[in-house]
Amino acid sequence: MRAPAERTLLVGVELTARRRSVSTAAEDPADSEEPLEELAALAESAGARVVGRLTQTRTSLDAATLLGSGKVEELRARVEAEEIDSVIFDRELTPTQLRNLQRQLGAKVLDRTQLILDIFASRARTSEGQLQVELAQLNYLLPRLTGRGTQMSRLGGGIGTRGPGETQLETDRRRIGSRIAKLKKEIERVRATRGVQRSQRQAVPLSTVSLVGYTNAGKSTLFNRLTGAGVLADARLFATLDPIVRQIRLPSRRQVLISDTVGFIRNLPTTLVEAFRATLEEVTAAALLLHVVDVTSPIAAEQTAHVLKVLAEIGAETAPQILVFNKSDRLPEGEREQDLAAHTHRLLGESARLSDTPAALVSGKTGDGVPELLKLIDERLVQDPVARQRFRLPLAEGRALHLLHDRAAIVSKRYEDTYCEVVADAPQSIRDKLAEFAVAE
């Protein structure tokens, strides 16, 4: 029988404007109209039942408990009265804050980073994903061991595990350190394997297109529409974690690889960015990024800024992009008819980084706008460029004719007694293969 969902209380802290610099204001949770909405979605994705919320406005964060003493007492009273199982904070707690809050509240206390790590752990399906999540969890846990007592006994134990005078804390730290070192070696092997696979793919003239975007922007739904892959797509945040690569055919008939990667989120834990670097290298190696934006989101500009920040952290900020405004089926009829410039201005404002970025309005759910998106991808890909070429093929060269039908867009075809003349829009790789049959114009 399924266990009942944990009764969860969410806590947010808003810093007053006079205590925030211009740079930090853009990244503070209070910037959105409902700072705890995203945290609630994360908690529900993890299987919690959100039964209440509490916020406090402060000029500075309390070093001991994050909140003021009065607010902590109010929180403790609510935990008892409402039979709260867990309290989740929308900020990362220091080891001291976590320990103090847990003692004073008498309930399980988690912060935003722990919550995201828990979701990632439940979503990882491949051995690579599980290794990466475990590394991120241990890196987060290591400085927070103090005060956990024997909770770390699951890491190992028994005779011979502790030296003379060694405390449980020291033993746990040593075990975690050893496990982290082992995980890093295993992930490095994964990274090397991915590098070999990427080199093999690049030896064949197939460009790679990567879907990136804020979590729940509809990347997996769009990926399924483009590829028919049947990837899990639902309203839960981080529903797709492990990267998936499929092959698709563009209107020019050239084939490209398209990959769906983990969604980004505000204040993505640095431990996760580091642990998933091997996976995110698929993004850095892509010839083109499809930056998927939820066209219905009231905070699309903030979400886009966070995606660009993560792209910069992994060295992919200069990669060519196409803005894909997704979920057009949810727009009112009048807004669907707006031109793309209007959507770009409404959603993203005057972002200099994206001012010249081409855009497409699509619905991954219904398929509206997808043909136009494929044409745009065709135009933007600079690898294996397409050009029109006339070929004169001997009738015995059926394999060459089949190759043109399969990998190029046939414009015209004419049969003579001994040859077939074909005009086709063909990728450079196909023109090179059939160079002996090319006819100079």
Q: How would residue 279 be classed by pLDDT, with cut points 50, 70 and 90?
A: low
Cα 71 to chain center, whole Å? 35
Structure tokens at 117: 């790590």
pLDDT for residue 413: 93
pTM of the shown model? 0.71
Whether residues 289 and 322 fall in one domain: yes
> Does the pLDDT of residue 363 top 90, yes or no?
yes
pLDDT at 18: 46
- Choose the final residue of a domain: 364, 380, 396: 380
pLDDT interval class at 281 (50, 70, 90) = low
Could you tell me if residue 60 is inside a domain?
yes
Instruction: State pLDDT tens for residues 235-276.
Output: 455 545 556 778 888 888 888 888 887 778 877 766 667 666
| Domain end (from 67, 95, 118) | 118
Sign of CA dihedral 154, 155, 159, 164: negative
Lowest model confidence (mean pLDDT) among 7-16, 145-154, 194-203, 388-397: 145-154
Does 372 map to a domain? yes
Question: Does any domain span residue 85?
Answer: yes
Tell me the pLDDT band of 66, cut-offs 50, 70 and 90.
very high
Q: Which two tokens stand for residue 369?
A: 């706008």
Provide the terminal-to-terminal Cα distance of the chain, rounded to the nearest Å: 74
Instruction: Select from 182, 193, 191 the least CA-distant residue to 135.
Output: 182
pLDDT surpasses 80 at 158: no
At residue 337, the pLDDT reads 66
What pLDDT score does 322 carry?
93
- Whether 133 and 41 share a structural domain: no
Please give the residue range of the domain that contains residue 182: 124-188
- pLDDT tens for each residue of 160-199: 444 444 467 777 888 888 898 998 888 888 777 766 766 6
SS3 (DSSP) at 92: coil
On whether both 318 and 409 belong to a single domain, the answer is no
Return the closest-CA partner of residue 441 out of 370, 390, 386. Answer: 390
75, part of any domain: yes
Which of the residue ranges 38-42, 124-128, 156-160, 427-431 would you say has the lowest mean pLDDT? Answer: 156-160
Which residue has better confidence, 273 or 53? 53
Task: Please report whether residue 2 resides in a domain.
Answer: no
Q: How many domains does the chain have?
A: 4
Domain harbouring 312, CATH code: 3.40.50.300
For residues 113 and 129, membership in a common domain is answered with no
Q: Note whether 271 and 304 are same-domain residues.
A: yes
Task: Tell me how crowded residue 159 is: count the other CB atoms within 10 A of its CB.
Answer: 5
Q: E strands along 295-346, which residues?
A: 321-326
Q: Are 50 and 108 part of one and the same domain?
A: yes
Judge whether residue 81 has pLDDT over 90.
yes
Q: Are residues 113 and 138 in the same domain?
A: no
